[in-house]
A and B are shown apart, each in its own frame.
Chain A
């Protein structure tokens, strides 16, 4: 009788073991444009409690916005299975593994050739079923949280550019424009400036600041000439690497400003500034004096 009770307790306990499944991909979130079509998407899966698995662990990509219980061959477009791990391997203790697939094999590419100017998102899914209370394969279905994989070949709108003239400098502020994902997609801005050509020539654009994070969207262009008119334009770059058209150029002219030191000089100040050799020697003497004082102090 006692053995029967123990068996009743232990069997369900093994069948109901808590199972979890996690998917991760390199470079998450994955977003590519046409230049990344031939890339491979790589990742790994991590499971726990898989010794109760009774069917294969499957990893697939779907064009649907939600992951079903298993990959569907009848979905439109059909789901694409990228990895199958047999239940025997899971029961034997395999709890992690890697997978990879070509980006351009995702389901939505069946109706959109790579290079098309579209923006779509497919989802990476995974699931496994555990042995149920009766010992048959009717237990809990465990699904991983989906991972989005995006193809975006649509450039974002150009940014709004504002320029504040400073002394020999221009401070450039940038902001994403548009609506919805146009605003949230932008990851970086680029800035170019040029001396305004006289007589309507073509500006000789120079890059400034490299990729400027959209979370701190400003850059200062230094070493300019006060009184010269400069043109400044900006570009938006989204998470897939698409670069917008340039914004309309904004013209600005650095101006001389007067700070405390300028005012001092203008008011007749005769200090030459800087740390002179005499000043350095004086500082050294002061430090030596302090050291002597400290020594006397310790002795006291």
Chain B
């Protein structure tokens, strides 16, 4: 049913777009806020740093990514042709495994790595297709600054080795490319009621690919860079 609706929507919208007809007069669009809730799988490239002989993440946790939960808030300040705004996000991910004994066998203690990425970014959402041609896809890009507190644990406390405490803060850059599906076409009546009653303009489902360089801009320390997917739900109001 949903797929049929989507095909129908594209069938109506695309020909007008493709035949080079003058675009409809853009509706006056207010600046809006978008709240995104997303989940992803994050595996830092801890082995990709100068002098590293092995990847300690893989060595400790295997090739199993962390489950990352994230909250992002975007606010537009220009709606002339698309959605240009700024965004702020906070996320959290952790991974635990058994610490090992000297012979490599698992011990009775757990060890963990926790990260808390915070990002401030510029956001551009090409929502022209949706606002002018009723094609419910909104591609978007984001780029910004990442600050990522991190800490390790072993046996219930932060791990300390040779006087070095396993915690810190890493800086870096983050970028995202994504595609959101505007859900209004599924039930236009409900979408209109949500806008009138709750001030929610649109609901979105989205998927995005993130490329983050979080290594203090090329420093020699712990490399928390990662390429990873996230998926989620967004509300625009």
* Bound-state Cα–Cα, A164 to B101, Å: 13
Interface contact A258-B100, CB-CB below 8 Å? yes
Residue among B50, B86, B100 making CB contact with A293, cutoff 8 Å: B86
Among A202-220, those with CB < 8 Å from B are 220
Rounded to whole Å, the gap between the CB of A253 and the closest CB of chain B is: 12
Rounded to whole Å, the gap between the CB of B214 and the closest CB of chain A is: 12
* Bound-state Cα–Cα, A164 to B107, Å: 10
Given contacts A269-B222, A272-B164, A273-B167, contact A257 B152 (CB under 8 A): no
Interface contact B164-A274, CB-CB below 8 Å? yes
* Bound-state Cα–Cα, A272 to B169, Å: 11
B171 close to A (CB within 8 Å): yes
Among A271-300, those with CB < 8 Å from B are 271-276, 279, 282-283, 286, 289-290, 293, 297, 300
Interface size class of B (residues with CB under 8 A): 35 or more
- Across the interface, which residues of B come within 8 angstroms of A220, CB to CB? 156
Residue among B88, B100, B112, B168 making CB contact with A271, cutoff 8 Å: B168
B193 close to A (CB within 8 Å): no
- Across the interface, which residues of A come within 8 angstroms of B222, CB to CB? 264, 269, 271
Interface contact A290-B120, CB-CB below 8 Å? yes
Rounded to whole Å, the gap between the CB of A211 and the closest CB of chain B is: 21
Interface contact A279-B168, CB-CB below 8 Å? yes
- Across the interface, which residues of B come within 8 angstroms of A276, CB to CB? 168
- Across the interface, which residues of B come within 8 angstroms of A286, CB to CB? 118, 120, 145, 147
Segment of A126-134, A166-174, A233-241 engaged in the interface with chain B: A166-174
Interface contact A275-B167, CB-CB below 8 Å? yes
Interface contact A166-B107, CB-CB below 8 Å? yes
- Across the interface, which residues of B come within 8 angstroms of A270, CB to CB? 49-51, 220-221
Interface contact B75-A267, CB-CB below 8 Å? no
Closest residue on chain A to residue B46 by CB atoms: A264
Interface contact A268-B52, CB-CB below 8 Å? yes
Interface contact A297-B61, CB-CB below 8 Å? no
- Across the interface, which residues of B come within 8 angstroms of A261, CB to CB? 111, 152, 154, 159-161, 164, 166
Contact with A along B48-64 (1 / 0, CB 8 A): 01111111110111000
* Bound-state Cα–Cα, A169 to B153, Å: 15
* Bound-state Cα–Cα, A297 to B31, Å: 11
Interface contact B31-A255, CB-CB below 8 Å? no
Closest residue on chain A to residue B222 by CB atoms: A271
B18 close to A (CB within 8 Å): no
- Across the interface, which residues of A come within 8 angstroms of B152, CB to CB? 259-261
- Across the interface, which residues of A come within 8 angstroms of B100, CB to CB? 257-258
Among B199-233, those with CB < 8 Å from A are 220-222
Rounded to whole Å, the gap between the CB of B151 and the closest CB of chain A is: 9
Rounded to whole Å, the gap between the CB of A285 and the closest CB of chain B is: 9
Most buried by B among A258, A289, A290: A258
Closest residue on chain A to residue B110 by CB atoms: A259
Interface contact B53-A268, CB-CB below 8 Å? yes
B80 close to A (CB within 8 Å): no
Interface contact B108-A166, CB-CB below 8 Å? yes
B47 close to A (CB within 8 Å): yes
Given contacts A270-B49, A282-B147, contact A167 B109 (CB under 8 A): yes
A18 close to B (CB within 8 Å): no
Among B4-45, those with CB < 8 Å from A are 31
- Across the interface, which residues of B come within 8 angstroms of A266, CB to CB? 56
Residue among A169, A275, A297, A300 making CB contact with B155, cutoff 8 Å: A169
Contact with B along A160-204 (1 / 0, CB 8 A): 000011110101000000000000000000000000000000000
Most buried by B among A164, A171, A264, A282: A264
* Bound-state Cα–Cα, A298 to B171, Å: 27
- Across the interface, which residues of A come within 8 angstroms of B53, CB to CB? 267-268
* Bound-state Cα–Cα, A260 to B156, Å: 13
Interface contact B111-A297, CB-CB below 8 Å? no
Residue among A167, A267, A279 making CB contact with B154, cutoff 8 Å: A167
B99 close to A (CB within 8 Å): yes
- Across the interface, which residues of A come within 8 angstroms of B159, CB to CB? 259-262
Interface contact B102-A259, CB-CB below 8 Å? no
Interface contact B161-A262, CB-CB below 8 Å? yes
Contact with B along A243-267 (1 / 0, CB 8 A): 0000000000001111111111111
Interface contact B109-A283, CB-CB below 8 Å? no
B81 close to A (CB within 8 Å): no
Given contacts A273-B167, A293-B86, A300-B31, contact A165 B112 (CB under 8 A): no
Interface contact A265-B111, CB-CB below 8 Å? no
* Bound-state Cα–Cα, A283 to B221, Å: 17
- 19 A-B residue pairings within 8 Å (CB atoms): A165-B108, A171-B108, A256-B102, A258-B99, A258-B111, A259-B166, A260-B112, A260-B154, A261-B159, A262-B99, A263-B56, A263-B59, A264-B46, A264-B222, A268-B52, A271-B221, A274-B164, A274-B167, A283-B147
Closest 9 CB pairs of A and B: A259-B111, A261-B166, A271-B221, A259-B154, A263-B56, A261-B159, A257-B99, A264-B56, A257-B107
